[in-house]
Amino acid sequence: MPRDKLLTLEEVAAYLRLNRFTVYRMAERGELPGAKIARRWRFEEREIRQWLQHRKRHSRRHGQRSH
């Protein structure tokens, strides 16, 4: 069974061009899909892409500019 690539917090921060502490806070608040494994955050690449696409659609629908 093919598995989705797991990303570290630092990799997600680089992908989203956010500070790693921002990504950490978002994950802790449940704003970003991820899970703690052995006390470290891991994120499925597919879920991060889907989350970003959802945010883009939502921003456009409400007249906000996406960057």
Q: What separation, in Å, do the N-terminal and C-terminal C-alpha atoms of the chain show? A: 35
Residue 10 in contact with residue 21, Cβ under 8 Å? no
Domain count, the chain: 1
CA 48 to each of CA 22, 34, 63: distance values in angstroms, whole numbers, following the listed order: 15, 8, 23
In a domain, 66, yes or no: no
In a domain, 67, yes or no: no
In a domain, 36, yes or no: yes
Please tell me the distance from the alpha carbon of residue 2 to that of residue 47, in angstroms, as a whole number: 15
CATH no. for residue 38?
1.10.1660
Tell me: the pLDDT tens digits for 4-58?
899 999 999 999 999 999 999 999 999 999 999 999 999 999 999 999 999 988 8
Task: Give the structural domain span for 55.
Answer: 6-61
Q: Which of 18, 15, 10 is nearest to 46 (CA)?
A: 15
